[in-house]
Amino acid sequence: MSKVQTVLDSNIIELLKGETIVNLITINSETKRPELTVVSWVLATEDGKQIKIAVGHKGSSINNIQADPFVTLGIIGPESCYSVAGQASVSDIHTGTMKYRVITVDVEEVEDVMFYGGKLTVLPKYEKTYDPQLAKKLDDEVYQLLSSKE
C-alpha cells in the first residue's frame, strides 16, 4: 500500500480481528498537545470504513475526542506500519464486568508509513499480567460489544 487509501485493506481488517496493539493518538483537551494511548480491544468493520475501540469509561482519550474528534491510529503490521486518520465519536457508558466506552473511528486516510526498504517480519506480542479467567471474561464481553451494530 504505497498511496493513501480511504478504507482499510483486507489484511489490516484481518489483523484487527484479534487482540492487536494499536496506538491511539488524540489531542489533549487541556494542553493541546498530542497524547498517545496504547489500546488492544480493537475491531475493524468488514467494509474497512470504521474501527471500534473499547476503553475504560474514564480514559483521558474520551475527553480528548469529545473536545477534538480528529485522531490518528498507529497500526503495526501486517509487514508494515500504517497511519490511519479519521474522526472519532464516543459512546455512552456500557456497564458489564467493568464500565466501558466505545470509540468509533470513521476512517478517512490509511497510509503506509514504514521507512523505505523496511519490512516487518514479526508482529508485536504482549501478555496479560492479571487473572486469566477475568481476562477471558473481559475479552469475551468487550468483543461482543464491539461486534454489535450500535
26 forms beta bridges with 35
- Please report which confidence band the pLDDT of residue 2 belongs to, taking 50, 70 and 90 as the band edges: low
What phi, psi does 65 have (nearest 5°)? Answer: -70, -35
Which whole-number Å values give the CA distances from 141 to 19, 52, 54, 57, 104, in the listed order? 13, 14, 10, 15, 17
Per DSSP, the three-state class of 63 is: helix
Q: How many domains does the chain have?
A: 1
Residue range(s) defining the domain that contains residue 56: 10-137
Per DSSP, the three-state class of 90 is: strand
What phi, psi does 74 have (nearest 5°)? Answer: -105, 115
Q: Is residue 11 scored above 90 in pLDDT?
A: yes
In a domain, 53, yes or no: yes
pTM of the model as a whole? 0.91
In a domain, 96, yes or no: yes
Span of 60-69, 97-106, 123-132 with lowest mean pLDDT: 123-132
In a domain, 150, yes or no: no
pLDDT tens by residue, 109-140: 999 999 999 998 888 888 888 888 888 888 88
- Per the prediction, the chain carries an average pLDDT of 91
Compute the distance between CA of residue 55 and CA of residue 109 in angstroms, rounded to an integer.
23
pLDDT for 81: 95
Q: What is the CATH number of the domain that holds 29?
A: 2.30.110.10
Compute the distance between CA of residue 117 and CA of residue 90 in angstroms, rounded to an integer.
38
pLDDT for 100: 92
Q: Is residue 84 scored above 70 in pLDDT?
A: yes
What phi, psi does 37 have (nearest 5°)? Answer: -130, 135
What phi, psi does 101 have (nearest 5°)? Answer: -130, 150
pLDDT for 132: 84
In a domain, 106, yes or no: yes
In a domain, 4, yes or no: no
- Please report which confidence band the pLDDT of residue 1 belongs to, taking 50, 70 and 90 as the band edges: very low
pLDDT tens by residue, 24-53: 999 999 999 999 999 999 999 999 999 999
Entry field: residues in the chain: 150
Mean pLDDT confidence for 78-104: 93
Compute the distance between CA of residue 8 and CA of residue 20 in angstroms, rounded to an integer.
15
Mean pLDDT confidence for 73-100: 93
In the DSSP assignment, the letter for residue 131 is -
In a domain, 145, yes or no: no
